[in-house]
Structure 1
Amino acid sequence: MNKIVLVTGASSGIGEGVASFLSEKGYVVYGTSRKPKNERDFPFKLIVLDVLNTETIQTAVQLIIKNEGRLDVLVNNAGMGITGPIEETPTEEMRAVFNTNLFGAIDVIKAVLPGMRRQKSGIIINITSIAGYTGLPFRGLYSATKGALELITETLSMEVKPFGIHVVNVAPGDFATNIAAGRYHAPISEQSAYKEKYQINLDLMNAHVNSGKNPTEMAKKIYAILNTKHPKIHYKVGGFLEKFSIVLKRMLSDRMYEKIVMQHYKL
């Protein structure tokens, strides 16, 4: 029986790559977008879902269950980026990114769990980030949201395992997507104490995304996870240095690791 998959944030980037790849592999895939009527055609069903609107979340999940009778897989991908010095980033923007990347993801999980518990099976895959393992300069809020989702994944995995449900996360490094275009950037003012360093890091971040890996690599990893009988909790997909940075953080003292990160980001 073909598995029924829900991929949030599937109109572009990693979400689109995952939804398209799984469709090609025979899965019945529902992707979501806040405004799907304005999108081009996709090789999967694209439906309305805004992670900031619980009514649209419930409606989307109920539609899938009505059409297919079940929902087997959630790929919790929808999210947003944010950059800026902590001191100069508006608090309302901080709350907005937590509402999208963390609480929005949790609300989608809440919507799919009742059905998965009834059928005594399912897998929830949270898309986090390698940035969630380290506080990065001028990306602290983004790192914090993804790090928090990593911990939620660990907790949820224990809570729902008795119901036959697996919860895992996949942490990507830099991928060639349009996240930079949709990211909130704290304005760079001429009077800012961080002006020069922040601009250098913005240019560095955008260069990393532009030269990043193909989203198909994420799709292949998720496909492999779906075909693993006993999946792990944490997966990482990225370049050697990105993944090695996590190992290095465990090995070195806090200040030594901090020094290496600051040198990398030209601080």
Structure 2
Amino acid sequence: MSKVVLITGGSSGIGKSIGEFLIEKNFTVYGTSRNPDKYKDSRFPILALDVKDNNTIVNTVNTIIEKEDKLDVVINNAGAGITGPIEEIPEEEIKNNFDTNFFGPINVIKAVLPQMRKQQSGLIINITSIAGYMGLPYRGIYSASKGALELLTEAFRMELKGFNINMTNVAPGDFATNIAAGRYHAPLLEDSPYKKSYGNTLSLMDEHVDNGSNPNIMAQAVYKIINTNNPKVHYKVGEFMQKFSIVLKRILPDKVYEKLLMNHYKL
């Protein structure tokens, strides 16, 4: 029997690429979107789910289980970008980002664990970000929310070992997706003390996404993880220098690494 996979945020970008790759490998795939009617031409079913609304999470998970009688793999892919000087980002937007990138995945995990415990098997893959390994200027909230999910996974996977349920992180670098269009940008204020440096950094970030890797690379990585008996705690997928930046952070003195980042962002 084919494995049943749930991908949150499966209507576009990385989630869509993963879903299309997995159906080619004969998996049964369900994606989600807040507006599933917009994706009627999807190659796999797109169900209604908003990670900030726990009722939609529970309803969608139950719908899949009732239909398939199992749920083998859950990919927490839904996420939101956010940029801006931390001082100038409204508190509401900070909370909104954590609701999407951190609390949302927690609630998805809570919804699927009873079924996975019942079947004594399961794999949960949390899509984080290489940005979650370091505090990046003008991406501090995003780094924090993704970094929090990384640490949560480390703890969660130990709690789940006794139930034969695996959990892992996959941290992508920059991929050519529409994430830049959907993220919250704190406005460039004329009287802001951050106007010049934030504006320069914003242009650099958009350039990185526009020149990002093909999201099919992420799909191949996820497929390989699904077929791994004992997944690692952390995976990084992206350009060599993006992955190497994590190694540098581990071995360089903090201030040296900070200087490298500031030079990179021309600060």
TM-score, length-normalised on structure 2? 0.99
Tell me the amino acid that sits aligned with residue 190 of structure 2. E
Aligned match of 2:66: 66
How many angstroms apart in 2 are the aligned matches of 1:44 and 1:73? 15
Aligned match of 1:77: 77
How many angstroms apart in 1 are the aligned matches of 2:12 and 2:164? 31
How many angstroms apart in 1 are the aligned matches of 2:171 and 2:38? 29
2:211 aligned with 1:188: no
How many angstroms apart in 2 are the aligned matches of 1:83 and 1:154? 26
How many angstroms apart in 2 are the aligned matches of 1:5 and 1:264? 39
Aligned match of 2:207: 207
Tell me the amino acid that sits aligned with residue 51 of structure 2. V
DSSP 3-state at the match of 1:169: strand
Tell me the amino acid that sits aligned with residue 73 of structure 1. V
How many angstroms apart in 2 are the aligned matches of 1:113 and 1:192? 46
How far 1:29 sits from its partner (Å)? 0.2
Aligned match of 2:237: 237
2:8 aligned with 1:25: no
Tell me the amino acid that sits aligned with residue 100 of structure 2. T
How many angstroms apart in 2 are the aligned matches of 1:87 and 1:69? 48
Deviations 1:58-89 (A, max 9, x none): 01000000100000000000010000001111
How far 1:230 sits from its partner (Å)? 1.1
Aligned match of 2:162: 162
Tell me the amino acid that sits aligned with residue 36 of structure 2. P
Deviations 1:109-160 (A, max 9, x none): 0000000001000000000000000000000000000000000100110001
Name segments (4+ residues, structure 1) moved above 3 Å.
none
Aligned match of 1:134: 134
TM-score, length-normalised on structure 1? 0.99
Aligned match of 1:94: 94
DSSP 3-state at the match of 1:177: coil
How far 1:38 sits from its partner (Å)? 1.9
Tell me the amino acid that sits aligned with residue 111 of structure 1. A
How far 1:245 sits from its partner (Å)? 0.5
How far 1:40 sits from its partner (Å)? 4.1
Query: Identity over aligned residues, as a percent?
Result: 61
**How many aligned positions are there?**
267
How many angstroms apart in 2 are the aligned matches of 1:190 and 1:40? 43
How many angstroms apart in 2 are the aligned matches of 1:14 and 1:38? 17
Aligned match of 1:42: 42
2:99 aligned with 1:110: no
Tell me the amino acid that sits aligned with residue 76 of structure 1. N
How many angstroms apart in 1 are the aligned matches of 2:40 and 2:144? 33
Worse-superposed segment, 36-45 or 199-208: 36-45
Tell me the amino acid that sits aligned with residue 199 of structure 1. G
How far 1:39 sits from its partner (Å)? 2.1
Tell me the amino acid that sits aligned with residue 145 of structure 1. S
Gaps (5+ residues) in structure 1? Answer: none
Tell me the amino acid that sits aligned with residue 14 of structure 1. I
Aligned match of 2:255: 255
How many angstroms apart in 2 are the aligned matches of 1:12 and 1:180? 13
Aligned match of 1:146: 146
How many angstroms apart in 1 are the aligned matches of 2:97 and 2:37? 25
